Chains A and B, each alone.
Chain A
Amino acid sequence: MMNPMPSAIAIESVGKHFGALTALDQVSFTVEPGEFFALLGPNGAGKTTLISILAGLSRPDSGRIKVMGFDVQRDFRAARKSLGVVPQELVFDPFLSVRETLQFQSGYFGLTRNHAWIDELLFKLGLSDKADANMRALSGGMKRRVMVAQALVHRPPVIVLDEPTAGVDVELRQSLWHFVRELNQVGHTIVLTTHYLEEAQELCSRIAMLKKGRLIALEDKSKLLAHSARREVALTLSAPLPEALRPWLRSVEGDRIVLQLADIAELEQVLTGLREARVEIRELSVIETDLEDVFVKMMQGGN
């Protein structure tokens, strides 16, 4: 603890416009070394723009970003060496084989004797038997794996995956996440954007949410879930909901009535109310909060 370690990623008041469109509006947050971080938001929220600025593919109108303490513009060489990005679009060089692709990518990062690590990457990503195949001959899922390997050739401490599992089969998703978790466990910082909220919920420890270019949430996953923890109970009743219970009503879907409680203890009052009105319960279930609920709620909310 001689020197305080710099943040893996430090984003300071980053703004970006495309004509009249504000893609990013004063976004600031940090990701600490070793975190498994999720960046969520609907299409057009600014996730990819933010990642592009982080990776130096795009330039901010204002603010700045540092990776491992290196400014991505002024100190771009050190910043880019510290960063591995898996772009969202499926792209490849049709002139090269899988191994050539990885060897060239190593070379661009200044590495020549990288064969052992390339072999390991090929093995871990299930590409060993495709090493000498031309990129054109690979399936979409296989190409995606090569892109992951390309992002890792220089062993970057910070790894960004921009929707890496969009359109990818279940098997690859499982093996990819297994591998990424392993990387996280040995100390790599992981930033993930995904449309599959269950992935973020399962993997990530901290979550940022973007909406229309603004940061609307930034919290530990557990806190975020607890915050918005709605205690919801779904009921199917033998008769209409008694008047006394109306204040708790959240929604009616056919004969399924959803009540929202401030606390689970209130369930006792609900049951008492039903008994007094002589309404029978045919079905009862407690609705668990998941990230998707939180997400939908935040995206619909004014803030």
Chain B
Amino acid sequence: MQGFLTLLKKELVRFWKVSFQTVAAPVLTALLYQLIFSHAMANHIEVYAGIHYTTFLIPGLAMMSMTQNAFANGSSSLIQSKITGNIVFLLLPPLTALDFFAAYLLAAVVRGLVVGLGVLVVTAWFGLPWPAHPLWALVFAVLGCGALGALGVVAGIWAEKFDQLAAFQNFLIMPLTFLSGVFYSINSLLPFWKTVSHFNPVFYMIDGFRYGFFAQSDTSPWLAFGVVGFSFIIVSAFALWLINAGYKLRH
């Protein structure tokens, strides 16, 4: 237990020491999206009845930032440790695979939530209401960060070079998070693209999170919960299995 707590603390210290880059920067990026889109789309039709587009945008932006940062935390920490070689200091102690995974996962969730909170705080004056279902919002925030945080651990273990990780980020994470209904309701899409969106787990994270605020969404929150929870469990189990097998960590 102490080993897990120590590694968790180290991972938190790691991103907190560079919080300008790991927290402030993504919050600013989200604020810029909010400013630009609310200006460009100010006269956009209402997506949901009674909810202005600029308000509609906020939870999606927050969730997108949360998932991207949860992914970035574990993956960048692991690849740095692997490339500099200091991962050996985690492989020599008696840490179990679960200690190792849980510490990276939880740090990723904390970073995701801190970024998400930051985004909500700086964009709230665009008309964000108090969540209609705070518990749903929290559940989707935590599970969304968890699923992408676990995927970040997998990517960090798999990647051997920074460009491999960048490819993972640019060709998988970015499309998944951008094409998830952050900027639009998927009900406005052509049927084909609407169907495609239903295969994107990030869509359910955003849809469920939005439900927490507006009590309106494209799909049922229970379906979203099922998909997000299942994704989280599958990716976590895979990450644990990789660590336990020593994949690319113990040769």
Contacts and interface: CB of A to CB of B under 8 A. Distances in A.
A108 B9 contact: no
B93 A59 contact: no
A289 to B, nearest CB: 38
Contacts of B2: 107, 110-112
A285 to B, nearest CB: 47
B189 to A, nearest CB: 43
B89 A56 contact: no
B250 A95 contact: no
A58 B91 CA distance: 10
Interface string A47-74: 0000010011111000000000000000
Q: How many A residues touch the partner, as a band?
A: 20 to 34
Q: How many B residues touch the partner, as a band?
A: 20 to 34
A96 B17 CA distance: 10
Contact of A59 (B6, B13, B94, B246): B246
A109 B7 CA distance: 11
A168 B150 CA distance: 40
B86 A92 contact: yes
B89 A150 contact: yes
B85 A108 contact: no
A140 interface: no
B94 A76 contact: yes
B84 interface: yes
Most buried by A among B91, B92, B246: B92
B250 A105 contact: no
A93 B94 contact: no
A105 B93 contact: yes
Given A94-B84, A95-B17, A80 B92 contact: yes
B128 to A, nearest CB: 35
A44 to B, nearest CB: 16
Interface in B68-101: 81, 84-86, 88-96
B89 A108 contact: yes
Contact of A108 (B6, B84, B86, B251): B6
A85 interface: yes
Contacts of B93: 80, 105, 108-109, 154
A95 B90 contact: no
Nearest to B96: A77
Contacts of B121: none
B88 A87 contact: yes
Interface in B1-46: 1-3, 5-7, 9-10, 13-14, 17-18
A118 B36 CA distance: 53
Contacts of B17: 95
A86 B201 CA distance: 44
Contacts of A95: 13-14, 17-18
Given A104-B10, A111-B2, A112-B2, 9 more contacts: A56-B250, A91-B86, A92-B86, A93-B81, A93-B89, A106-B6, A107-B5, A107-B9, A108-B90
20 contacts: A55-B91, A78-B94, A80-B94, A85-B92, A91-B84, A91-B85, A91-B86, A93-B86, A95-B14, A95-B17, A100-B13, A104-B9, A107-B2, A107-B6, A108-B7, A108-B90, A109-B3, A109-B94, A110-B2, A110-B94
